[in-house]
Amino acid sequence: MDGRCLRFSLVADDSHSDDTVDRYPIVPFRIPMPPVSLSSLRKGARGTVAHVRDDPQTLGDEAQSTVSRRLLELGFIPGEALEVVAEIWPGGDPMAVRLGNTLFALRRLEAGAVLVAVEGC
């Protein structure tokens, strides 16, 4: 479960003679994995933000602002390019994430609300 795409291809069976009329077309067909949580991605993973869950976890502050609201405000919106650039050893928590051109340091707990469509097919 590393978030890579699964690759299917419907191809003709070349071993048969080519007088088969209804040959399936050769179509490399990618079914991307469903978006995974940012908290599960390791260093080097790239993708785009698919969705930010409305997570009720608060930052424990005066305004009771939620983590996911703050993530939204910081720019974690659908379509934004994302890359995990660093993580701490051991355990990989916290992690440094590049969102567009800005770097953020997050704990895995905070990253949990962000769902990412991973690229790398």
Partner 1 sequence: MSAASVALEPMRLALVGVPNCGKTALFNRLTGSRQKVANYAGVTVERKEGSFVGPSSGQRYRLLDLPGAYSLTPTTLDEAITRDCLLGRLAGEAPPERVVCVVDATNLRLNLRLVLELRDLGTPLLVALNMSDLARDRGVRLDLQRLEQELGVPVVETVAIRDGGERALLERLEALPPPAARPAAEWLDPTFEQIQRTQREVRRILHAAGYTEPARRRALQRLDALVLHPVAGPAILAALLFFVFQAVFSWAAVPMALVDAGVTWLGGALQASIPPGALNSLLVDGVIAGAGSVLVFLPQIMILFFFILLLEDSGYLPRAAYLLDRMMGSVGLSGRAFIPLLSSFACAVPGIMATRTIPNVRDRLATIMVAPLMTCSARLPVYALIIAAFIPNRPVGAFNLQGLVLFTLYVAGIVAAMLVAYALKRTALRATYHPLLLELPEYKWPNLRNLMLGLWERLKIFLQRVGTIILALMIVLWFLSSYPAPPEGATGPAIQHSFAGMIGRTLEHVFAPLGFNWQISLALVPGLAAREVAVGALGTVYSLSATGDEVAATLVPMIAQSWSLATALSLLAWYVFAPQCLSTLVVVKRETNSWRYPVIMAGYLFALAYLAAFVTFRVASALLT
Task: By CB under 8 A, name the binding residues for partner 1.
Answer: 54, 57-63, 65, 67-75, 77, 79-80, 85-89, 91, 93-94, 96, 100-107, 109-110
CB contact at 8 A, 111 and 97: yes
Shortest spacing between CB 106 and partner 1, in angstroms: 6
11 or 105: CB nearest partner 1: 105
**CA 37 – CA 97 distance, rounded (Å):** 13
Beta strands in 11-101 (DSSP E): 27-31, 36-37, 46-52, 81-87, 95-99
- Minimum CB separation from partner 1 for residue 75, in Å? 6
Shortest Å distance, C-beta 68 to partner 1: 7
**Smaller CB distance to partner 1: residue 100 or 120?**
100
User: What is the C-alpha to C-alpha distance for residues 8 and 16, in angstroms, rounded to an integer?
Assistant: 20
Closer to partner 1 by CB, 71 or 118: give it.
71
Q: Which of 23, 32, 52 is nearest to 117 (CA)?
A: 32
Closest approach of Cβ 103 to partner 1, in Å?
A: 4
